Structure 1
């Protein structure tokens, strides 16, 4: 935004080119051979260790690593990487305190000191030690980290969203194509896609249970999240990294970081992506310097090619009505909620389908269960990156609309050359968005701010 006024497995790891320095299985048709070597045989064993590197050791990264350890496979965390040593140490402590052990009695968290990497380039070293990488840094780093994971032939679990600007989305889309060629599984943490009630209900919607979807609304309205006060003598890069949620190069605003979940559901239900959008937003409640440069509310109308409009709402207002859900209307019926009472309803109230979620399980765990099951079986099943990149672009396009006050079209948004990422990554380097003498950051002004 600028303002014009400023991824030791055998078998599958061989087949997909994942075994570091190893030969690629030549007997599988259609598998690329990045190492230019061949293997005479192919085998895998359920006892083989799947080595995992965690890139990004915050709460979500630590949770994702624990979910990997909770799968049925012989998973071990073998490397940790983060920009900050304190977050790496916190993650290591949290993971080791549970004392999880493999079938042979060895710890499932086996990260010696020389497998702990700190700094902006730490991810490259950690990835080199693993078969699978978990990418859970702030989303601004996702394009470069995903590119490197694919370059190193790693299986990937990465968190959403996958970029914060259009150049980042384009990088993820290109890396996604390369991951497909290499047959690397990629699962992205939009867990609703792995949640049984969403899967069952949306399958029925796609089978015509509600007729044609003609409208809908998606919501993430809540009280907002944490912020960390500025410390004396703290560099601007350190401050923004510690408060990543409030800076667009790192987060992309909460319409991207949080609301992408609901926006992705809209795209899933419509089985397409919007062609344009328009909306409004601003800072009404969270206006102080502690909230960086992001808006505290966004309301966006997304227009799809068939003429359907889906309304999107997200906001951060403490003490107000909260809702994180989706609802859709079809020519035969509707869905009012995907919550505990999720059902497809006829307009007179008669149920078309009621989901019994008694044994559904935790979707955050399911996505890891399915990914690691595929890896252990030598299967190529998951290619989430392209889809999530496009849902991320949908969210970014919404931000472009609310920041500018303009109608924004898909093609022009995706092709935007506005790059939010700093020119240099170093603790003494300056991000592109800087505070004024009063500690306030420049905020987008609809009608004046250029976003495409």
Structure 2
């Protein structure tokens, strides 16, 4: 791997063979040959004109070329709403950019049209990638939360539409920047899509409609779980650039990605708020680290958060990341008339209503029609259609508020006290205010102790609101 310098440079042609294997992430962007075949089938389709562009092709720039970014780019290129073309890529790390470019080129051929002079490396690579776009293009912001506001502001300044992946901000100061940027985008009639894809699930939308109609009665309780075997990190060895070492491991540091709880649970927190059609007024919680585990990260290993809504309803959100324990990945809700499951394992559309409060297979009252389109694809189709037809489409406030609700819960656990919505919304706290000034030569925002371990929250002492 070449260390990115302070100055952006185009990437040289890849040296690896085309057959080299690529690492996969949560969002698998080339999971079946059927998807690849669908790409080829689009070649001869007649497609509509794009507003404010010289032809009907929407150009794309991918900022952040890990598995999540590669998956988002594939969804954009796979859309049947009209032709799209990837024309620029940017990342801090050459190996990630090279792998992503190779895989996308193999899958989409000439529609991944990114020659070496439009592949950029470095902390300012995002600017060069955005500058290479034409009006009406889309910037895919798939880096870590620490850089989201900075990249969004520049894209809006340049008049670009944006798709940004979760998480969106690591702290309240980042949320404030996002909200302001979202207002600027609306004033310019720019379209912004945000990667809380479950909002675009047709099965969940059908259940939301039943909730709004009162079919389940008043919703007094929601339960959401994400429990798995964990994400332990070894000590920092002191021999590498500590900043870049942390950015390679973003889920282990609050400043970089907001930490493992929000990275994993923002979807479930968003589901709770969607079900209630409201934002929580307060959060309280507990959590901790398991003794005896050699985990050098900042993360706690368990989180249990009680959200309270204005009508007194509760949402309990539970995360645990330890081996050899019960695992779960689901969201349930309980109304005065009936209970329902809202979401299933790995965000599966496991949606069903029960006859009463018993959540058992022999007690089903309703299921939605089977989904015909992945929510990952549906969110992209919605954004691209809004661009082509000049429809309003700005998901920034909703995404930022869901992220803030997650920050509230994390802060309640870390600080050991009740955190209110108004307190979180009005906070200016930042884990690292100088994030926009980072270069490859900057010291890391958080430093390891002599044993290579990083500071962890201590309730009653820690501050993040």
- TM-score (norm: length of structure 2): 0.82
Asked if 1:246 is matched to 2:252, the reply is: yes
Q: How far, CA to CA, are the matches of 1:365 and 1:313 in structure 2?
A: 28
Q: How far is the alpha carbon of 1:318 from its aligned partner? A: 1.9
Partner secondary structure for residue 255 of structure 2: coil
> What pairs with 1:145-160 in structure 2 (closer than 5 Å)?
145-160=151-166
1:187 is aligned to 2:193: yes
The answer (yes or no) to whether the contact 2:235–2:452 under 8 Å persists in 1 is: no
Contact 1:286–1:316 under 8 Å retained in 2 = no
* Residue 129 of structure 1: how far off its partner (Å): 2.3
Go from structure 1 to structure 2 and tell me whether the alpha carbon gap of 1:274 and 1:348 turns closer, same or farther (over 3 Å shift): closer
Which of residues 413, 416, 419 in structure 1 aligns to 2:430?
Answer: 419
For 1:35-74, what per-residue CA distance to the aligned partner results, in whole angstroms no more than 9, with x for missing partners?
Answer: xxxxxxxxx8xx6221100000000001110111111221
Give the corresponding residue for 1:94: 103
Q: Is 1:341–1:355's contact at 8 Å kept on the other side of the alignment?
A: no
Distance in 2, Cα, partners of 1:150 & 1:385? 12
- 1:286, 1:317 within 8 Å by CA — same for their partners in 2? no
For the pair 1:59 / 2:63, whether they are aligned, the reply is: no
* Aligned positions, number: 405
Alignment pair present for 1:361 and 2:373: yes
What is the CA–CA distance in structure 2 between the aligned matches of 1:67 and 1:403, rounded to whole Å? 36
> 2:227 matched to 1:214?
no
Q: Distance in 1 between matches of 2:453 and 2:364?
A: 52
In structure 2, what is the Cα distance between the partners aligned to 1:155 and 1:195? 22
- Which residue number corresponds to residue 117 of structure 2? 114
Counterpart of 1:448 in structure 2 is 461
Residue 125 of structure 1: aligned partner: 128
Query: 2:152 & 2:429 partners in 1: Cα distance?
Result: 20
Contact 2:235 2:453 in 1 (8 A): no
How far 1:243 moved relative to its partner? 0.9
Q: How far 1:327 moved relative to its partner?
A: 0.6
Asked if structure 2 preserves the Cα contact closer than 8 Å seen for 1:161 and 1:389, the reply is no
SS in 1 for 2:261: helix
Instruction: State the Cα deviation string for residues 259-282 of structure 1 (Å, max 9, x = none).
Output: 000000000000010111110112
1:393 match:
404
Query: Matches of 1:318 and 1:412 in 2, distance apart?
Result: 35
Superposed CA offset, 1:241-266 (max 9, x none): 11111000111122211100000000
Question: Are residue 205 (structure 1) and residue 205 (structure 2) matched?
Answer: no
Alpha-carbon distance in 2 for matches of 1:118, 1:63:
20
Structure 2 distance, partners of 1:230, 1:351, is 51
- What are the residue-to-residue correspondences of 1:226-237 with 2, within 5 Å? 227=233, 230=236, 233-237=239-243
Match of 1:315 among 306, 320, 337: 320
Give deviations 1:169-213, integer Å, cap 9, x for gaps. 000011111111222111111111111111111121112111111
Whole-angstrom distance in 2 between the partners of 1:154 and 1:126: 12
Instruction: Report how far residue 222 of structure 1 moved.
Output: 1.4
Gaps of 5+ in 1: 1-8, 20-43, 102-106
Partners of 1:282 and 1:76 in 2: CA distance: 46
Report SS of the residue matched to 1:224: coil
CA shift for structure 1 position 220: 1.3
CA offsets per residue over residues 154-174 of structure 1, 9 Å max, x none? 111110121000000000011
Contact 2:235 2:295 in 1 (8 A): no
Shift of 1:385: 0.9
**1:428 aligned onto 2:441:** yes
Partner in structure 1 of residue 184 of structure 2: 178
Counterpart of 1:138 (choices 144, 161, 164) is 144
Distance, in Å, in 2 between the alignment partners of 1:143 and 1:149 is: 10
- CA–CA separation in structure 1 for the residues paired with 2:91 and 2:156: 19
- Taking structure 1 as reference, are residues 115 and 228 closer, same or farther at Cα in structure 2, changes over 3 Å only? farther
- Residue 403 of structure 1 is aligned with which of 400, 411, 414? 414
Q: What 5-or-longer segments of structure 2 have no aligned partner?
A: 1-46
> Tell me, what secondary structure is at the counterpart of 2:117?
helix
Greater helix percent: which structure?
2
User: Cα RMSD (Å) of the superposition?
Assistant: 2.1
Which residue is 2:386 aligned to?
A: 374
User: Which residue number in structure 1 is paired with residue 265 of structure 2?
Assistant: 259
- Please report how far the alpha carbon of residue 397 of structure 1 lies from its aligned counterpart in structure 2 after TM superposition: 0.8
For residues 163 and 328 of structure 1, the distance between their equivalents in structure 2, rounded to whole angstroms, comes to 27
CA contact (8 A) 2:250 2:259 kept: no
